[in-house]
Structure 1
Amino acid sequence: MTHTTSDTLASLYGLMDETWDKIASAYNFKCNGCKDNCCKSLFFHHTFIEQAYLLRGFNLLDHGLRKKILDRAKQYCKKIFSQTSGIKSMKIYCPVNENGRCLLYPYRPMICRLHGLPHELNRPGLNTVKRPGCDAGLFNDKTYIQFDRTPFYQKMARIEMMFRQDQNKTGKIKQTIAQILLSQ
């Protein structure tokens, strides 16, 4: 990963965080790790740039902590991807979560940054898709505050394209954080 793509992604992540904080504040919403914690949600990540960025952060951790996280990642995958029942969301913590705190918080992927708030996606030629946000925010009782994720997805796609060209990457990726960590 070049410094340029890394810096570009970090800048986009900063903009995501800033926008999320602004919208959350307008709703008077503070995420406090509720029982339906998004760190227990089954999220798949689809970009090589986010995979590389997450692994960069992971490799900065000390050896003992990395080993501990990898052990949790193995257990996570064993439970989530059991051969007999297929993929299932079991509401177990992401392997980088320790005591309710993400150990790779500055390196967390886009969906971890944007989750929780009501939002919309505007896809060319299709109807706008609106999502309600997490249950903890009680957003159904509140007036919708526009949070359009579309520009973030578009910028991420451009960064991903640059990264793929620089790294000669092809194909698709669909992995959980646990799978990403175990892939290196």
Structure 2
Amino acid sequence: MTDTFFKALKTLYNDMDKTWDKIAAGYNFICNGCKDNCCTSLFFHHTYIEKDYLCHGFNKLDQDQKKTILTRADIYVKKTFSENLKTKALKIICPANENGQCLLYSFRPMICRLHGLPHELCKPGAEPIKGPGCDAGLFDEKSYIKFDRTPFYKQMAQIEMKFRQDFNKTDKIKETIAQMLI
């Protein structure tokens, strides 16, 4: 049953990747990693479908890779979330990152895919909320190329809503990749 949802998610991810690549090319931007890259940013993910898809990818890895990632994930969670539950954004590398490469790249969540470029999010009846993009892109020195994330968020919400209904997921989710994998 998850195959239908995974297919819809893969299609959405493909659209995101193509759009990101097109906008990045317009800026002559190539992400080579930097201090503000997606792999060291504290991101919380809010969809069960992405968690299930990430775990699906994780389960395809060999046992040694899984063990390494889980060890890193445990360390990440312990360093990021202290006993008093205060979250610390420490710029710790994602546990799925191995020598600068994501071992779960094809299965990475939406925010990992969309990070880095200047963008906007349009809420009904409000001015667009704009994000500046990463520092490495030097986007302040360039003309803005419209990158509206809104359609991607709407499509993700539709997939997630149906997934939650079909799998009786009623609780909210707010987890890092490390938390999703543990």
**If the length of structure 2 is used for normalisation, what is the TM-score?**
0.97
Does the 8 Å contact 2:118/2:144 carry over to 1?
Answer: yes
Q: Tell me the equivalent position of 2:110.
A: 110
Give the whole-Å Cα distance in 2 for the aligned partners of 1:163 and 1:130: 29
Q: Tell me the equivalent position of 1:140.
A: 140
For residues 146-165 of structure 1, the aligned pairs below 5 Å read 146-165=146-165
- Residues 84 and 173 of structure 1: is their aligned pair in 2 closer, same or farther, counting only changes over 3 Å? closer
Give the whole-Å Cα distance in 1 for the aligned partners of 2:60 and 2:45: 21
Identity %: 66
Partner SS state of residue 83, structure 2: coil
Partner SS state of residue 42, structure 1: coil
Q: Tell me the equivalent position of 1:131.
A: 131
Q: Tell me the equivalent position of 1:60.
A: 60
Give the whole-Å Cα distance in 1 for the aligned partners of 2:17 and 2:82: 34
Give the whole-Å Cα distance in 1 for the aligned partners of 2:171 and 2:30: 38
Partner SS state of residue 33, structure 2: coil
Q: Tell me the equivalent position of 2:4.
A: 4
Instruction: Find out whether 1:172 has 2:172 as its counterpart.
Output: yes
**If the length of structure 1 is used for normalisation, what is the TM-score?**
0.96
Which runs of no fewer than 5 residues in structure 2 stay unpaired?
none
Give the whole-Å Cα distance in 2 for the aligned partners of 1:137 and 1:111: 17
Aligned-residue CA RMSD in angstroms? 1.0
Q: Tell me the equivalent position of 1:91.
A: 91
For residues 45-84 of structure 1, the aligned pairs below 5 Å read 45-84=45-84
Paired residue type of 2:18 = E
Give the whole-Å Cα distance in 1 for the aligned partners of 2:137 and 2:52: 32
Give the whole-Å Cα distance in 2 for the aligned partners of 1:116 and 1:93: 16
Q: Alignment length, in residue pairs?
A: 182
Give the Å deviation of 1:34: 1.5
Give the Å deviation of 1:64: 1.4
Q: Could you report, residue by residue, the CA deviation over 1:87-134 in whole angstroms, capped at 9, with x for unpaired residues?
A: 010011000001000000000000000000000000012221111100
Give the whole-Å Cα distance in 1 for the aligned partners of 2:52 and 2:138: 35
Give the Å deviation of 1:85: 7.2
Partner SS state of residue 127, structure 2: coil
Partner SS state of residue 10, structure 1: helix
Give the Å deviation of 1:37: 2.4
Give the whole-Å Cα distance in 2 for the aligned partners of 1:167 and 1:6: 14
